[in-house]
Amino acid sequence: MKLNPRVIDEYKYIHSCKFNEYCKLEYNRLKDKIIIKPCCLVNPINDIEPLVWDADFFVNNIDYCINEYSKFDLRNLSKYYKGTCVYKTYNATGFNTLCDNYINNKKIYRLENSTLRNCNLFCIMCRNDSGRNKKEDYIYLKILQETYGKYHIATTCVGEPFTLKEELFELLKTQNSGQIDILTNGTLLTKEDINLLSKLNVNNNIYITMSIDSDIPEVYEKIRQGAKFEVAYANLLELHKAKLLTNVHLVIQESNLDTFLDTEKHFAELGIVTKFIIKSGDKKLVEGLDEETKKHIFNTELE
């Protein structure tokens, strides 16, 4: 499998722990709070600063809030969080639980802005029906505007970043020095959009990850309801051709359990790395696979 260096670097990154230099931001609509997490699948059980902030205070004091979080002793994390590691690293003892080896974060390098829930699809493993929220749009864009260029930004979210395509493109046009990862289902992009992204990628700083769970049209459309496979696949190829694509995210689930390895092989033949995602509710599904397959999923190495 021959991959360009930026893809190899990203591949190594997604298979390593990132607690020490990473935090994730989420927005709780009901409480109007910004939640800072050191990883994805754990949730605060108390509104304790510096883990949880009033949304208005946070967006007006982003640097201060992140700095306060960076001083938090993550060894105390178990008092406020519970869950399992997002990477669910598999080894001889099975799936690891939440890591205990925390240290103080001295400097935040990577910031994941996951405050947006707007999406154009209704995927069966997500069922995002939260609807449009103007304040949420404002918070998401405000955080991007205030942090892009200061941190390695990821726009991972429950929703779809390109529902705010014009605003996102404007940010990339005005600030092209920051490193940004955009996770997208890819269905809202046009060929013209991809050409524009390619032109804006003058510093090789725009990384696109595309969520696509099957290369079989009927399986893909069953999972990603509201999407057309031919549109998503064509955009996948265009992003890869434009050297914007770093990898694809494939959610392993009942619908693709018998075919996901074939899909990975297909993408590998194109030079595209697959990162497997396991939802908490599907953990037992994956544990039922044979040992060789589990080790392949969680310990894949470049050949």
Residue 294 domain flag: yes
Give residue 302's pLDDT: 33
Q: Please check whether residue 218 is in contact with residue 151, taking contact to mean a CB–CB distance below 8 angstroms.
A: no
| pLDDT(7) > 60 | no
| Tokens linked to 12 | 């190594």
Residue 195 domain flag: yes
Among the residue ranges 13-22, 270-279, 286-295, the one predicted with the least confidence is 13-22
Among the residue ranges 15-19, 130-134, 282-286, the one predicted with the least confidence is 15-19
- Structure confidence by residue, pLDDT tens digits, 21-50: 788 899 988 899 999 887 655 566 567 778
Q: Average pLDDT, stretch 54-70?
A: 94
Give residue 75's pLDDT: 60
- Structure confidence by residue, pLDDT tens digits, 72-119: 776 666 555 555 554 444 444 444 444 444 455 568 888 999 999 888
Indicate which CATH number applies to the domain containing 260. 3.20.20
Rounded CA-CA distance 230/202 in Å is: 29
| pLDDT(60) > 70 | yes
- Structure confidence by residue, pLDDT tens digits, 135-178: 999 999 999 999 999 999 999 777 899 999 999 999 998 876 78
The answer to whether the peptide bond before residue 5 is cis (omega within 30 degrees of 0) is no
| pLDDT(292) > 80 | yes
Rounded CA-CA distance 37/83 in Å is: 12
Residue 84 domain flag: yes
| Tokens linked to 7 | 């893809």
Residue with tokens 């057309």: 228
Q: Please check whether residue 146 is in contact with residue 178, taking contact to mean a CB–CB distance below 8 angstroms.
A: no
Rounded to the nearest integer, the mean pLDDT of the chain is 81
Helical axes 165-174 vs 134-147, angle rounded to 10°: 20
Which of residues 54 and 177 earns the better pLDDT score? 54
Which residues touch 79 (CB under 8 Å, ≥6 apart)? none
The tally of domains found in the chain comes to 1
Residue 276 domain flag: yes
Residue 303 domain flag: no
Rounded CA-CA distance 196/207 in Å is: 14
Amino acid at 132: R
Percent of the chain at pLDDT exceeding 70: 75
Residue 111 domain flag: yes
Number of other residues whose CB lies within 10 A of the CB of residue 301: 8
Q: Average pLDDT, stretch 246-253?
A: 92
Tell me the residue range of the domain where 138 lies. Answer: 5-298
Give residue 70's pLDDT: 83
- Structure confidence by residue, pLDDT tens digits, 196-236: 999 999 888 999 999 999 999 999 999 999 999 999 999 99
Residue 106 domain flag: yes
Residue 22 domain flag: yes
242 CB burial (10 A radius; 0-12, 13-18, 19+): middle
DSSP single-letter state for residue 76 = G
Which of residues 131 and 19 earns the better pLDDT score? 131
| pLDDT(195) > 80 | yes
Give residue 125's pLDDT: 87
